[in-house]
Structure 1
Amino acid sequence: MSNCEIITSDGCTAEEASVIDFQPLTAEELQTCKPPNNEELVRIFEGHLSTLRIAWLVLGMSKPSLVGMLQEMDDEIGVSMVDRIESAIRFFEQGLSTLNPAFARIVVAGSVLEVTEEAEQ
């Protein structure tokens, strides 16, 4: 189980989180997971937002409705929709692979403060 999973589970106390150690990523590691610049990110994100909206609409459809929609849809459009959803999944998973460990590190650092403050009282 990773530190991130331990921290986000219900069983992790501030004391347990506060003793978890981590090191900053190396410059090389940071370079391999460097996010796009703001302009590129907005362009990429806008495309995935519309796909997220389509996915949300699909979740509100019954199975027969979805089958009917796909049946009436041009095959090329259906394949494109699936490709866009797969691309959005990869995009959001990549974002989560950055957000989850950052969240965990912040919780660890905050837990150190909490434990320290409790000890001082």
Structure 2
Amino acid sequence: MNCHLYKKKYVKRISLSEISPLSNFESKSTSSLIYILFRAADNKLKIVFNKKIDQDISNEGFKEIGRKLGSRRDYDLMKLTLKELGHEYIISTQGYKYSILLIRHLNTIGFPTISAKKIFKKKITI
């Protein structure tokens, strides 16, 4: 009889210290806009919090495709959720690689995007 023993692989749990403190979430002064920017030249998606995006739009060629009012905690939770869903943050380009799946996941977790309307549009055939 062939018996194989397999090692169990445990996923590292997220500690509460990795997320912004709850007190920041409750404070009204930390609420700001979370912007989702897209650049078509290299298919890069950039998500920024509480930043003047005029410089990114004019100098770097980004286009705003979505925004949401939120706190720093919301921003950190969104980044952790995207990491758990398999979307890696690329440090060298400071953003995510654009994909339809990434846009769908952003829309599902509550960050509306302009291009999500095009993705979910259903074709009606007769």
| Bigger helix share | 1
Q: Name whichever structure is richer in strand by fraction.
A: 2
Common fold: TM-score over 0.5:
no
TM-score in terms of structure 2 length: 0.24
| TM-score with structure 1 setting the length | 0.25
Larger Rg: 1
Compare relative contact order (CA 8 Å, sep 6+) and give the higher one, 1 or 2. 1
